[in-house]
Structure 1
Amino acid sequence: MKNILFVCTANSARSVLGEALLRHKGDDGYQTFSAGSTPRGTVNPDALKCLERNGLPAAGFRSKSWEEFAGADAPQMDLIVTVCDSAAGEACPVWPGHPLVVHWGIPDPASVEGEEASRAAAFDLAYQRLERRIDAMLALGPAVFDAPDAKAQLSNIGSQAELQD
């Protein structure tokens, strides 16, 4: 069982989408979580609608601090994926067990304003980009975590052009 934490600043949109997607696609081999450096306190309703549109459960998510995962009694992470540029640049807590930390930057769909259709399109695009990256990670198989170049392989997923659009 591999523990994966998706991190973005507010823990209200992208990190929640990542958590839900890997939970759905990763079967029993992965336990997924999400958190933020400065959590908003609530999950963006458009993120929950996006999950529902894509047939994933939208209940039970909450916006929480990454400090919940930095304590001695927290689950030990194998991989931390930052999905927003600001969270990637912040000073992260010292994670128990020193997990791999990679960045898969996704533009913030919550920054899109306007009518519901425009917001939905932005969330769907973020969802699709995360889905392609998670599929690429799963295609590497669990052995990637033990590979000498694990960080490079997992980081590369965030920069591959075909996984962007």
Structure 2
Amino acid sequence: MTQPFNVLFVCRQNAARSQMAQVLLTALGRRRFVSYSAGTEPAADIHPLTLETIRNAGLPTSGLYPKGLAEFASAEAPRLDFVFTVCDELEGCVLPILGRPVTAHWPIPDPVPARGSHAEVAAVFADSFRLMRRRIELFVELPLAGLDRLTMQQHLDRIGAA
């Protein structure tokens, strides 16, 4: 097996979407990927419905916590192969990441501000999770080793627009 690809998912608070993406890629990536998540302004805690949604999918939540981008901007940080922004406000944002990772914008509506009954808000989180899952499924099926950078970028942009 070749060296796994390091992938970082970024959103503002690292409390919902990026955490979901990290867990999903770990679960679906067939050990081809090491996934991370971070926030530009990390929250104090992961949103409880993020954890509930992940657990409802039968996936583990141990070890998850909100992280800042500084963890990925130092010389000791893992060399990132891919960086995905998953919230609208980060589109086109220049992130303090070392190296030249392939980047793409995969916006997903933020479930955190959703209001209503527990079931209604949980449904919003579940919708975000399903959309992220579909994007991750498409990503892990790409023949990454056989794609040039431009072709890979085109595929990743299409996944983010789907």
TM-score where L is the length of structure 1: 0.91
* 1:109-148 mapped onto 2 (5 Å cutoff): 109-143=111-145, 146-148=148-150
Indicate how the Cα distance of structure 1 residues 62 and 53 shifts in structure 2: closer, same or farther if over 3 A, else same.
same
Which structure has greater helix proportion? 1
Counterpart in 2 of 1:63?
66
Which residue pairs with 1:19 in the alignment? 22
2:109 maps to which residue?
107
* CA root-mean-square deviation: 1.3
Letter in 1 for 2:137: D
**Residues of 1 paired with 2:66 and 2:124: CA distance?**
20
- Whether the 8 Å CA contact 2:144–2:152 is kept in 1: the answer is no
Per-residue CA deviation, residues 91-147 of structure 1 (Å, 9 max, x unaligned), is 311x22210110011000111012210111011000100011011111113326644
- Name stretches of at least 5 consecutive residues in structure 2 with no aligned partner: none
| Identical amino acids, percent of aligned pairs | 36
Say if 1:84 and 1:105, in contact at 8 Å, map to a contact too.
Answer: yes
TM-score normalised by L of structure 2:
0.93
Tell me which amino acid in the other structure corresponds to 1:123. Answer: F
Amino acid at match of 1:97: G
Maintained 8 Å contact 1:144/1:150 = no
| CA deviation after TM superposition for structure 1 residue 27, in Å | 1.8
SS at match of 1:125: helix
Please state whether the residue corresponding to 1:22 is helix, strand or coil.
Answer: helix
Residue 57 of structure 1, CA deviation:
0.4
2:37 paired with 1:28: no
Question: Structure 2 vs 1, CA of residues 108 and 145 (structure 1 numbering), >3 Å: closer, same or farther?
Answer: farther
- Distance in 1, matches of 2:75 and 2:10, equals 19
